[in-house]
A and B are shown apart, each in its own frame.
Chain A
Amino acid sequence: MAIELIDKEKCTGCRTCVDACPMDVIRFDEDEQKAIITYPKECICCYNCEQDCPENAIYVDPKRVNPIPPAW
């Protein structure tokens, strides 16, 4: 659900996805020098990170972790 994967093998630590996230879901692990999914519950499935990742390391599922009640 929502952001599911940042492939550690592929991630080069460029921080593009960290900056791209409008919900502060992705943080940067300074020890490992890799992006990490930190607050997946708040992922809004905007796909900024997946679209921007130059290494194709990210996979986002279009369903959110906390479902939003529909209008009807």
Chain B
Amino acid sequence: MVEKRLSTDVLVIGGGLAGCFAAVKAAEAGAKVILSDKNYCGKSGNSHFARDMMLFREEWGDNFKNWLDQFISIGEYVNNRDWDEVIIKESYPRYRDLVSWGIPFYRKRGMKGTPGSDHPYGNAVLSDDVGFPEPEEEPFRYHHQRTKYRKSTAIIKFGIRHKMMVCRKKVLSTGAAILDRVMITDLLTHNGKVSGAAGFNTVTGDFYILEAKAVVIATGSLTFRPSYYGIQFNAGEGMTMAYRAGAELTGMEFGSGMWVTKECDSVCINGPVAELGMTHDSVTNGLGEEFLDAGAHLPTNIHWPLEVHKGNGPIYHEPYGYDRNEHKEAIEKYNETAEGPWITMLDRAGIDIFNDRFEQYMCFLGNIFPGGIKINTNCETSLPGLYAAGDSSGTNFTGPTYATLGSGMCSAAVTGHRAGQNAAGYAKGAEHSALTQEEVDALKQRILGPLERKHGFTPEHILMRIHQTILPYEVRQIMHEDRLNAALTMFEFFKNHFLPKSFAKDSHDLRNYHEVRSMITGGEIMLRTAILRRESRGWFFREDYPHRDDKNWLKWIVVKQGEDGEMQLATEEIPEEWKGDLSLSEKERYLLQYGYGKED
């Protein structure tokens, strides 16, 4: 094991879109920058697997008030309107940044795919008209059509799969250094300020100490390596290292889910269904009933598990029945250009998406959209010198539900930009603080310690127990205090018993150990905050408190580690002017939810 010690003005942890923006903007502001990623920056992050980005521009007919209204109706009054405004209004300059970096976008809607390909946003993937739009030229933008409340936002499509490689080149062109396969696990603090971070190379095993005047965390969300495609590396290390260093987290009780195919569990079929315009397909329950409105292809996090909870499962995808030979070209193009060759994957699993009826379920994804390290609109956390961006940041911009397609990429770009600029500004007035040998030794022990042990519980075993505890629908989808407490008991056991007795076989396994360590802390936070919120709101559904409680719960939950190491939960009141008209009935206040899934 080699010990490497590097020094920089700004350290960016995570090389997805938010991290790349932070690195580029900090370097452009004059800071010396290092970006680290536990994978390979350019292929890493949820961003690599994303295809859409929300894009607002008044000149193209967008109305800010309508957009904000959409965020409020989806965010159910617990969305942060300051952040909504920033993210919506800065989407255009960030999109222009991406075009200037060399990322092309779809310019026109594509050709027809399958019969019934009247899907309002279908078939963009089948267009060849990909390029670099002029500033005034409106690229191909589509709108959600299915529910009138998601209609305002407009969404663009990245024109290439390798957009993150373009971002990598941009990062390097600014003079910033990239450390690939370096997993950061712990923040360094000095006199109440962040002074750097430490970790290791997952391939070589080298130990890294990175001294930095400011740190930006852009490590994505906190998931549990669930089913569903391309998010399994989001183990929440950024959030949990910030938490351990004393920063506040917010919105951690809110979670998300995605429908996946039971026999091919990486695959979420809404991609092919939407892109190929398979609008005649339907979803049925075990009784053969279409329990959702026909064509309801948005994630329906509560509908599905509730239907199963009632005893009406399982849930099936019922295809309309297409002659796939007629649409060979469309299918091939889709497999080539989409975020994953999902149709090929289904074929290999023995499922014909065009003709077979097959089972699906809703998988709990952790907090992939909401929640994270609490930041103000300068991306400052509660810890001086620490900034956060992207999914790991807690902006609360979308409240307890997913705002719209492409909103994650948009917020990654906007928060990354702001975090990078502000971290560079902070670094200008800050000094490096050196670690004592004692501190270095303690860090080494904490980070590399599991390599010294040769027996006990493997990270693989602990991960399996985490899966068995938190993934069943009745724990974090259809919630109840008793079941949340039961899961919390198990997570406390994992923390107190499994972790101290676990070991890592090699530097690769050490990554697994630290991911599992993070999931245990993150899982405990998610469960404790969910127990505290005694109401239902958005995708947050408590069977024992099935209604919204506007009197008591127009609040955010903020979590912090106390001096004694105990988890401290507090609530923060939503500003009065954001609460809406409280004299209205629930039905009037929550029009979206009462008309969910209905056409205009």
Contacts and interface: CB of A to CB of B under 8 A. Distances in A.
Interface of A: 19-24, 27, 38-39, 41-42, 44-48, 50-52, 61-64, 66-72
B49 interface: yes
A70 B161 contact: no
A42 B229 CA distance: 13
B460 A44 contact: no
The secondary-structure label for the interface of chain B is loop
Contacts of A24: 39, 181, 202-203, 508, 511
B467 A69 contact: yes
User: What are the 6 tightest A-B residue pairs by CB atom distance, in nearest-first order?
Assistant: A71-B473, A19-B40, A62-B345, A44-B232, A45-B266, A71-B361
B39 A70 contact: no
Given A19-B42, A62-B267, A70 B363 contact: yes
Interface string B545-588: 00000000000000000000000000000000000000000000
Given A20-B43, A24-B511, A70 B265 contact: yes
A28 B508 CA distance: 14
B264 A63 contact: yes
B305 A20 contact: no
A48 B40 CA distance: 12
A47 B341 contact: yes
Contacts of A51: 161, 340-341
Nearest to B463: A66
A27 B472 contact: no
Interface in B231-265: 232-233, 257, 262, 264-265
Contact of A27 (B203, B232, B477): B203
A46 B464 contact: no
B267 A46 contact: no
A62 B43 CA distance: 20
5 contacts: A22-B230, A22-B233, A39-B508, A63-B264, A70-B265
Contacts of A42: 512
User: Which range contains the number of B residues in contact with the other chain?
Assistant: 35 or more
B229 A46 contact: yes
Contacts of B314: 72
Interface string B155-190: 000000100000000000000000011000000000
A39 B266 CA distance: 18
Given A45-B266, A46-B340, A62-B264, A72 B161 contact: no
Contacts of A45: 229, 266, 345
Contact of A70 (B40, B229, B257, B361): B361
B302 interface: no
Nearest to A45: B266
A52 B160 CA distance: 13
A50 B335 CA distance: 12
Contacts of B264: 62-63
Contacts of B592: none
Nearest to B231: A44
A44 B508 CA distance: 15
A19 B43 contact: yes
